[in-house]
Structures are given as C-alpha cells and as structure tokens.
Amino acid sequence: MQERIHSAFREGARVLEAFAVSCSADLVRLAEATAESLRRGGKVLAFGNGGSAADAQHMAAELVNRFRIDRPPLAALALTTDTSALTAIGNDFGFEQVFEKQVRALARPGDVVVGITTSGTSPNVLRGLAAARDLGCTCVGLTGEGGGALAGLCDVVFAVPTAETPRIQECHIAWVHGFCDLIDAILFPDVER
C-alpha cells in the first residue's frame, strides 16, 4: 500500500513538472493581463463541476481574501456557489445553462473568465465560455490532455499532459496558486512576502 502511494506521488510530481514547463510562459502573460483588468475595475469569474467547482471557489477565495500577502481584496467570483441561481436555472432551463446565464448577467468586456473541465467537454462549462467570448471577455480554459472542445472557445488553454483525472486536478490547484501568486507580485510588488 505504501508503494501504491509512492507511485501515485511520483507520477503526480512528473506530470506537475511537465505541466509547469508547458504552461509557465502563458501563465505569466495571463497574470499580467488579469492584473491589468483588475486595475481597470474588471473581475475574475470562474466555474466548473465537482472538483473543478471547488477549484473555482478556491481561486475566488484566494483573490478576494488573500493568497500569501496582506493586500486589498481583488474582484473575483465563483459561479458555483449560488445555490438559488444554480437550481433555478437548472430547473427552468437545464443544467447546461447554469454558467452561461450567470456569465451573461455578471461578466463585462475585459473581465477574465476561467472555465475548468478536466475532460474539456462539459457542456455547461463550454456554454459559459462561449457566452464570455461573445461578451468580449478574456477566456481561459483549464483542462486535461487534448483539451476537448475547449480550445475553440478560449484565448488560452492550459491542458495538463495526462488523461488521469486525479493528476489533472492536482495540476489545476497548483495552477490556481501560481496564478494568484503572480497577480499579487504584479499588483503589489512592494508588499513584503
């Protein structure tokens, strides 16, 4: 059993390193664009299903509250937390529209919208990103190997180089932390870490 855990951790470390190499330049560019959006009064919106919903909520919490430094709150929303909106939209129009309708209500041109789906094929995430693209937002996709249908809807896609859901999710949360750290470093370079 210990070897099973060691093997999973080794594989996780291998995938995380490969993902870091493949995504770091794009992540820096995205953090710079996001910092500029936040400076201009924009916001970050994030959404996904299941574990990806938890990652969206984690990202919003790190931006609104704090990541590693004490600094002013940053505008971010997870579209996975309003149970009244989610259940009303799901009941009246279908689960496929739960993110699309919220994006259309809350997003503005220049906002950064992050859709998270390990498969790249979740219909509600794809519809949310399509709505964000229509509104003139910067569209970001977090996904796994291949990216599914996500690529055609996003300005930038961060695809973890594996089809194993646990490894993809581990990389996504590391990406969230890297994203938040870079934004803090760009917007608040003089705050002590």
pLDDT digits (tens, 9 = 90+) for 136-155: 999 999 999 988 899 899 99
Quote the pLDDT of residue 148: 85
Amino acid at 12: G
d(CA 109, CA 55): 24
> Which H/E stretch holds residue 157?
strand 156-159
- Banded model confidence at residue 7, pLDDT cuts 50, 70, 90: very high
Q: Fill in the DSSP letter of residue 67.
A: S
Reduced to 3 states, what is the DSSP secondary structure of residue 75? coil
d(CA 20, CA 106): 31
Task: Report the C-alpha dihedral over residues 142, 143, 145, 146, rounded to 10 degrees.
Answer: -90
Count Cβ neighbours within 10 Å for each residue of 22-46 and write b for 16 or more, e otherwise. Answer: ebeeebeebbebbbebbeeebbbbb
CATH of 2-187 given 1.10.3720.10, 3.40.50.360, 3.40.50.10490, 3.30.420.40: 3.40.50.10490
Quote the pLDDT of residue 193: 67
